Amino acid sequence: MTQVGYDELDLTTATGAWAIVAEKATTYLDLRTTRVLRQPGPDADPDRHDGCWVPLVALRDWDTTEVKLIRVGHERLAWITAPEGVEGRAQLAHVQRVVRAIRQVAPEDVPVGRPVDPDAGWRLPDRGWDELRYPED
């Protein structure tokens, strides 16, 4: 399969599945289901929902501005998700550092993912309570 890279992704018009690649992790975005999956690299800090498809609530710049256009070079994208479902509490899933590449993903190459484990946060190594709490609404 040939992967085509893009300089930007307009979330208001794009369709299908996309890989947003950063230095330490790749975030897969499925615009058909409005879900995201974070796949960390070997040097990334673990997150309790790594490898899980979770509903995307919002995508924001670190300054809380809503993002509608992702560009290569974009810094500090804050992915806000609701792992327990859209009715659950939204939380900051992860902050993606500098976007290195944007690729469209063919349907057969979209990661399968794993089920969300509600107790996964308590099993993460070297994490304190402050890092596991939901942000204030």
- Does residue 128 register a pLDDT over 80? no
Predicted confidence at residue 27, as pLDDT, reads 93
**Overall domain count for the chain:** 1
CA gap 137, 135 in Å, rounded: 6
Instruction: Decide if 58 is inside a domain.
Output: yes
Average pLDDT over residues 102-113: 92
Instruction: Decide if 67 is inside a domain.
Output: yes
Instruction: Decide if 11 is inside a domain.
Output: yes
Task: Please give the residue that has the higher pLDDT: either 83 or 95.
Answer: 95
Average pLDDT over residues 17-38: 93
- Does residue 3 register a pLDDT over 70? no
pTM of the full structure: 0.78
Average pLDDT over residues 12-27: 93
Confidence of residue 127 (pLDDT cuts 50, 70, 90): very low
Domain containing residue 40: 5-132
CA distances, 84 to each of 32, 38, 81, 105, 128 (Å): 19, 16, 9, 25, 21
- Does residue 58 register a pLDDT over 60? yes
β-partners of residue 17 are: 30, 105
CA gap 88, 106 in Å, rounded: 30
Instruction: Decide if 83 is inside a domain.
Output: yes
Predicted confidence at residue 65, as pLDDT, reads 87
Amino acid letter at 94? H
Instruction: Decide if 137 is inside a domain.
Output: no
Instruction: Decide if 60 is inside a domain.
Output: yes
CA distances, 68 to each of 45, 59, 78, 94 (Å): 26, 8, 12, 18
